Amino acid sequence: MTVVAMVGKLVKMAAGATQTHVSRSRVDTRFLSALAVACGASPDLADAIGQANTARHALEIADGAGLEDLPGHLCRSAAEALSREAGAALEVRTVLVGFAGVVRAVHPPFTTETSP
């Protein structure tokens, strides 16, 4: 299964939400902040990401600071969370797309055998 989403939906999935369109499913920018720390973000950058108004805003902050690994870490975290939910019989791949439709990250990466 391949899940293609923008940053807000992937943050929700990575944080464990399986129903991302319901009102109780909120974007947790603090979760994204913790992922940023795992990517080497400074405390000040992590704090700014955690206080962002939206997931898009948080990713823009990370991009502006040159935190290039965050999209990949987010995809990995979302794929792992969805895999736990789906079970071992289903391979899960996540793709983060930007607002211009550009692929930002994929996990696990496509290979020549799995390329679409």
For residue range 37-74, list pLDDT tens digits in order: 999 999 999 999 999 999 999 999 999 999 999 999 99
2-24, pLDDT tens digit by residue? 999 999 999 999 998 877 766 66
According to the model, what pLDDT value does residue 27 have? 84
According to the model, what pLDDT value does residue 116 have? 58
Confidence band, pLDDT 50/70/90 cuts, at residue 75: very high
Please check the confidence at residue 25 and state whether its pLDDT lies above 80.
no
- Look at 85 and 97; give whichever has higher pLDDT: 97
The residue-averaged pLDDT of 72-88 equals: 93
Q: Report the distance separating Cα 51 and Cα 28, nearest Å.
A: 10
Give yes or no for a contact between 45 and 36, defined as CB atoms under 8 angstroms apart. Answer: yes
Q: Which residues contact 30 (CB under 8 A, 6 or more apart)?
A: 50
According to the model, what pLDDT value does residue 22 have? 64
According to the model, what pLDDT value does residue 115 have? 56
Region of 101 on the Ramachandran plot (φ > 0 left; ψ -120 to 50 alpha; else beta): left
According to the model, what pLDDT value does residue 114 have? 56
